[in-house]
Amino acid sequence: MSVLEGRYRGVLRLLPASYRDVWEEEMVATFLDSVATDDVDEAEYLDEFGRPSWSEVGSVVTLAIQLRLGGHDAPPRAFVWGEAVRTVGLVGLLTFALALPMDLAQLLWIAGGLPLPAATREALAGSPPPDLWATAWIAAGALWLVAYLLLVMDRRRASLLLALLGLGFAVGQATVASAELAAGRAPATSLLTPWILLLISVVVVMTLAAFHRQAPPVRRRPWLLALAVGAVLSCVPGVLVLMQPIDMSVLDWPGLLCVGWIVAALVHLADPARRAASASLALVLLCAPVLLSRIGSLLEYLATGYQSVAPLTVSLGIVEAVVVLALAIPLAVQTMRRLPRPPVAAVPPVPTQGRR
């Protein structure tokens, strides 16, 4: 086997085993035919040093996504995985989008001169006007919100474009935080939040690949309802933070995510038969970013000596992380049992009389 063939077979490993059992040899033969040349020197060079082009690799990656994260006509297991990843993508976009109503509620509350405790008013009077990052944060929230709405309205390419712009903000924030650390103006732990946010943003954008041509359209009504309910609910903690001294706040964003996840997990564990396997799998997958943001924020509080939060926030945060982990394990076991079996390889029949 030439190095080129070995490398192409390596790329094909992205495809499900059942698919490779049927198509791998043929794909390899077609690929090698497509790069074959009459020039002996060039052929030898290709054999020893050649690599599949990026466009060839891209076509295999696209095929792997379509096969593993299946749509309408996919085998049951691939369809469940596809639906689960699409749900994770929608929940991720929705979560980022909900930062906007929360920020806007705070701004409007302050701008509208609505009642504020004396301590909060003093804190706001002493703080500088909204800086560039605060403005950028609101703009990023708007981008994620529009990306979410476009996805729900089945405008997938436009949604991806907006989500990539939203990701650009996360990249910018992480880059600035890294530069601050390099210049010695910030502790190493200040990198945690922006880099975790960046990581989660990248994952959310990647999940949008599951909305391919074969993927069914998003069900609009429940996801628009989720946005409306989420927007109202996210305004409440935003305003509550203003209504009490900052150091009394126990309602941090990762905590809210944990509580939301715990409630959903309990609902699923209580009556799994009534829940779609894809929804349970989505919950299991969502456990990772929820835990990551919870643990990252706790580490940051720890490093800053709990200056910005109440001890209760930290204690509750630890409890939240433990409960999420404790529920994630049985939920994962239960979900894996409910997943359909992998498909068996089915070679297309070939008329034997034509075989040479």
Partner 1 sequence: MEVSTRGVTEPAFFVLTALADAPRHGYGILQEVGELSEGRVRLKVGTLYGVLERLVGEGLVEPDREEIHQGRLRRYYRLTERGSDSLAADIERQSANVRAASVRLHAWRPATAGGTA
**Which residues of the shown chain bind partner 1 in the complex (CB under 8 A)?**
19, 23, 25-34, 55-56, 58-63, 66-67, 73, 213, 348-351, 354-356
- Picking from 75, 53, 78, the residue whose alpha carbon sits closest to that of residue 65 is 78
* Closer residue to partner 1 in complex, CB, 169/211: 211
Residue 89: CB minimum distance to partner 1, A: 21
Residue 202: CB minimum distance to partner 1, A: 23
- Picking from 255, 236, 251, 239, the residue whose alpha carbon sits closest to that of residue 120 is 239
The secondary structure of 110-171 as a DSSP string is: HHTT----HHHHHHHHHSPPP-HHHHHHHHHHHHHHHHHHHHHTT-HHHHHHHHHHHHHHHH
- Picking from 66, 88, 69, the residue whose alpha carbon sits closest to that of residue 80 is 69
Gap between the Cα atoms of 292 and 263, Å rounded: 18
The secondary structure of 255-279 as a DSSP string is: HHHHHHHHHHHHHHHH-GGGS-HHH
Gap between the Cα atoms of 247 and 125, Å rounded: 17
Two structure tokens written together for 262: 């715990």
* Closer residue to partner 1 in complex, CB, 52/166: 52
* Closer residue to partner 1 in complex, CB, 55/307: 55
* Closer residue to partner 1 in complex, CB, 67/94: 67
* Closer residue to partner 1 in complex, CB, 182/346: 346
The secondary structure of 268-314 as a DSSP string is: HHH-GGGS-HHHHHHHHHHHHHHHHHHHHHHHHHHHTTT-SS-HHHH
Residue 53: CB minimum distance to partner 1, A: 8
CA 62 to chain centroid, in Å, comes to 18
Gap between the Cα atoms of 203 and 209, Å rounded: 10
Is residue 134 a contact partner of residue 107, using CB atoms and an 8 Å limit? no
Count of Cβ atoms closer than 10 Å to residue 355 Cβ: 6
Residue 1: CB minimum distance to partner 1, A: 11
Distances (CA, A) of 272 to 87, 276, 284: 17, 8, 13
Residue 345: CB minimum distance to partner 1, A: 12
Residue 54: CB minimum distance to partner 1, A: 10
* Closer residue to partner 1 in complex, CB, 38/73: 73
* Closer residue to partner 1 in complex, CB, 17/236: 17
* Closer residue to partner 1 in complex, CB, 32/332: 32
- Picking from 243, 158, 167, 244, the residue whose alpha carbon sits closest to that of residue 205 is 167
* Closer residue to partner 1 in complex, CB, 28/279: 28
Residue 356: CB minimum distance to partner 1, A: 5
Residue 210: CB minimum distance to partner 1, A: 15
Residue 25: CB minimum distance to partner 1, A: 5
